[in-house]
Structure 1
């Protein structure tokens, strides 16, 4: 019986998701709010959340967005990203947010933050709320 429970737990923990992503991202967990971009405070609204395995949704400064998470933690890669098309005064901040998000390649998750980064030194710090 212990072996069945152990194998079931292992299978659930290592189950593959679309595009090879795994459930190591906080599926269904809190919404993360961007508080820092490349070492500077980010004062506009921008969020990211993982509502289900292999899926990302969030709010950029103007528009909501969605996409597919196509990598295994701690690698971060998005595909098929789409967004609503509403205009607002924060479109420059939105473009900055999306450009940075597109460049992120690594994720670090702890109790205090979700940190996305890349090999060029760029970093996005999100706090759960």
Structure 2
């Protein structure tokens, strides 16, 4: 699958508060839940979710707001509010699902030298630097041949700046942290460049299977894998045993911490490989995305390369 293929672009409707009833939706909506595509097809008072080659029909239930559907066994659910939805698939909580062609309702961009922070909340923009804080109205103006969305920043009805958003992976100029959007801000006669969105949009939603680990060789009972779940939970297999732990990508350096595993006995070669695999995970210093591959770079200079499972 193409991890970038469906990274979201800002459409004119992304800055307008959408209604949340089923009747306001198109018959079929495709969501991006991290790197996982989910298709929701509506008919009468049901919605059919499709992902990973499977389908499941859900029944509408009463909700205080939005459109809420559940499976008969309660293990799968869909709850949409505007252009966003929360989806649970067979007890697995997917990351925030966003309609393709739209940004999250709230998204932040930042840049360095000089430092600046800009938060886009539908049709409102907050801009902050160490010296000033400004507020603007935001309105989309055009979508050009470079796959950029142009957002006009307005104050007192006058255009005072412009935000250009591109759906290409961006790396922070100081930390190297990966983000899903590149941005150019023109304001007060100055031009600034930066990155935006959450790193989790690039890594959550599917299991990742190991395709290469530098400096190691050996046979494995199972192919090692890992999955970045919501709420910072990390799970996977080291090629012999299943493991669990936590992760954080909020700071400049990612933190992966494997805390426990099952105790199955495997061949000596498999267990040696598994031990090195876990050691590398715990010493990850950078997350990179290259040609649909997840690359974890380790303090020792080694790296682990993964491909999406589905």
Q: Give the SS at the match of 1:116.
A: strand
Q: Which has the higher helix share?
A: 1
Write the mapping of 1:4-43 to structure 2, written as runs, cut at 5 A: 8-10=105-107, 24-25=199-200, 26-27=203-204, 29-38=205-214
Write the mapping of 1:89-104 to structure 2, written as runs, cut at 5 A: 89=267, 90-104=270-284
Counterpart-to-counterpart distance in 2, 1:73 and 1:61? 29
Instruction: Give the RMSD, CA atoms, in angstroms.
Output: 3.1
Q: Is contact 2:257-2:282 (8 Å) kept?
A: no
Write the mapping of 1:45-64 to structure 2, written as runs, cut at 5 A: 45-64=223-242
**Corresponding position of 1:114:** 294
Q: Which has the higher strand share?
A: 2
Counterpart-to-counterpart distance in 1, 2:295 and 2:251? 12
Q: Give the SS at the match of 1:117.
A: strand
**Unmatched 5+ stretches in structure 1:** 14-21
When residues 40 and 7 of structure 1 are mapped into structure 2, their CA distance, relative to the original with a 3 A threshold, is closer
Counterpart-to-counterpart distance in 2, 1:72 and 1:30? 19
Q: TM-score, normalised by structure 2?
A: 0.33
Ranked by relative contact order (alpha carbons within 8 Å, sequence separation 6 or more), the top structure is: 1
User: What are the superposed Cα offsets for residues 104-126 of structure 1, whole Å, 9 maximum, x if unpaired?
Assistant: 11111245211000343210001
**Corresponding position of 2:48:** none
Query: How far 1:2 moved relative to its partner?
Result: 3.6
When residues 56 and 111 of structure 1 are mapped into structure 2, their CA distance, relative to the original with a 3 A threshold, is farther
When residues 86 and 23 of structure 1 are mapped into structure 2, their CA distance, relative to the original with a 3 A threshold, is farther
Q: Give the SS at the match of 2:231.
A: coil
Query: How far 1:54 moved relative to its partner?
Result: 1.0
Counterpart-to-counterpart distance in 1, 2:295 and 2:105? 30
Runs of 4+ in 1 over 4 A off after TM superposition: 3-7, 39-43
